[in-house]
Amino acid sequence: MQKKETQKYWNPILETLPPKKIKELQFKKFKRIVEWAYANSKLYRRLYDDAGFKPEDLKRWEDIYKVPIVQKEDYRKAQAKEPWPYGDTLCVPLDDVTEYHQTSGTTGQPVYQPDTWQDWEWWSEMWAYILWAQGFRKSDRVFIPFGYNVTMASWAGHYASEKVGCEVVPGGILNTEERLLKIKELKASAIMASPSYVIKMAETCKKQLKMDPSELNIQKILCAGEPGASVPSTKKRMEEEWNTKVYDNVMATEVGGWAYECTSQPGGLHVNEAFFLVELVDIDTGDPIEELHIPGKIIITAFDRYAQPCIRFDTKDISMWGKPCECGRTYRILKGGVHGRVDHITKIKGVSFNPLSVEEVVRNTPELADEYFLEVKEEGAAEVLILKVEKRPDVSIDTETLKHNLARQLRLKTNLNFRIEFLEYGTLPRPEVKIQRFIDLRTNKGKR
Ligand SMILES: [Zn+2]
């Protein structure tokens, strides 16, 4: 059935279910996927048998916490077996797999991701919620500037855009300048990209094309792949440069597109709770966190994915629950989106440090260019935290004053002193996809 263009929600029933009803639905779906995985996946059967857990132990909500958590490493080990390349993770005959993807491999050996055609339709349906909530409609011409590859995001965004009825322009083969010219030529109305690339495109537009990005008249930008669109100062920079709304989303290859910002921009992301169970647990104890504004680690279950199920998957991402959104969706809000990763949080001079907190300060300093790089190392017995930044070419402030102001803001935000180094404008890499902006060169890596 054709959706009405004026309809507020992609699924008016599911997106506005009362929380009690959502929980009932989630428990039913959780039980179903656990039973499926236990019956069909050697990986999950082994994991559950080793822990003495059986699917019939799931009698009430609290029993969910008895289900063993699965790690990316478990997938890697299970995939070393037959049938290649999915091994013991595969729950369907190999011939039923129609889609191959893999994780980007930034944290080690990639995880291979099989999907059946049913799983793949689930991907586009789940992404359709995201696009609809961000105002994507039939009238949109969506430009996707990345080369489609073995990774998931562009493919999922492409098929979901088609499902919603948008016209899609795959701009992968072009370079950044050519992509901008294509956006201009075709009068594209929307872009999907990583925050790093949205920033790079704006810079290229001004530098190479001598054009203000706002002249391209883009009406919305969907960001994913990095937390940038939920970092207030990064979001503000992108929205001002392009004179448009920028919306954040989170997805993972093993999980799905599980959380999205809506046009109300509530300072956080809705969890798609009819498709996913998102739990926050204490980083040290693993105890569930239901209260608002307490940071915890995100554990996710995808209810409807069958070829390679994802049940209580440890994402290692951090977030916190926030207040309900005014848009009318009852799906809970993760305040501030994803706040970084557990394995990136370290101790420097005894102080807990999240590298992402520096991004907020750098991008909130108008005299600085967009990119930065952080390094921590030992100099004798001392630990030194170095921030490398670039001054914008068109600002007149003297470097010493800027350095002083920046050091003060960083101290306020992190309780740490930084050594600030200014590099020549244009020196730091301008990436297309996520890159590591923090390197820990200490021999003990903060474990003291
Ligand atoms: Zn909302």
Distance between Cα 139 and ligand 1 center (Å)? 22
Report the pLDDT value the prediction gives residue 444, as an integer from 0 to 100.
Answer: 79
Q: Which amino acid is at 358?
A: V
**Domains, the chain, ranges and CATH?**
346-440 (3.30.300.30)
Distance between Cα 63 and ligand 1 center (Å)? 30
Report the pLDDT value the prediction gives residue 448, as an integer from 0 to 100.
Answer: 46
Distance between Cα 333 and ligand 1 center (Å)? 8
Distance CA(398)–CA(424), nearest Å, equals 14
Distance between Cα 50 and ligand 1 center (Å)? 41
Report the pLDDT value the prediction gives residue 432, as an integer from 0 to 100.
Answer: 76
Distance between Cα 130 and ligand 1 center (Å)? 11
Q: With beta carbons less than 8 A apart as the criterion, state whether 313 and 113 touch.
A: no
Distance between Cα 159 and ligand 1 center (Å)? 23
Distance between Cα 73 and ligand 1 center (Å)? 34
Per-block mean pLDDT, blocks of 10 residues, the chain (448 long):
82 97 98 98 98 98 97 96 95 97 85 97 97 98 93 93 97 94 98 96 96 98 93 96 97 96 98 98 95 97 98 97 98 96 91 93 95 95 95 91 96 96 94 83 76
Distance between Cα 330 and ligand 1 center (Å)? 8
Distance between Cα 181 and ligand 1 center (Å)? 34
Distance between Cα 358 and ligand 1 center (Å)? 27
| Contacting residues for 401 by C-beta, under 8 A, at least 6 apart | none
Distance between Cα 246 and ligand 1 center (Å)? 14
Report the sign of the C-alpha dihedral through residues 120, 297, 107, 191, in that order. Answer: positive
Distance between Cα 329 and ligand 1 center (Å)? 6
Distance between Cα 249 and ligand 1 center (Å)? 13
Report the pLDDT value the prediction gives residue 173, as an integer from 0 to 100.
Answer: 87
* Burial annotation 123-156 (CB, 10 A radius, 16+ → b, else e): bbbbbbbbbbbbebbeebebbbbbeeeebbbbbb
Distance between Cα 161 and ligand 1 center (Å)? 20
Distance CA(155)–CA(168), nearest Å, equals 11
Distance between Cα 354 and ligand 1 center (Å)? 27
Distance between Cα 265 and ligand 1 center (Å)? 7
Report the pLDDT value the prediction gives residue 106, as an integer from 0 to 100.
Answer: 73
Report the pLDDT value the prediction gives residue 445, as an integer from 0 to 100.
Answer: 76
Query: How far lies 169's CA from each of 134, 141, 157, 190, 433, in Å?
Result: 18, 7, 11, 10, 19
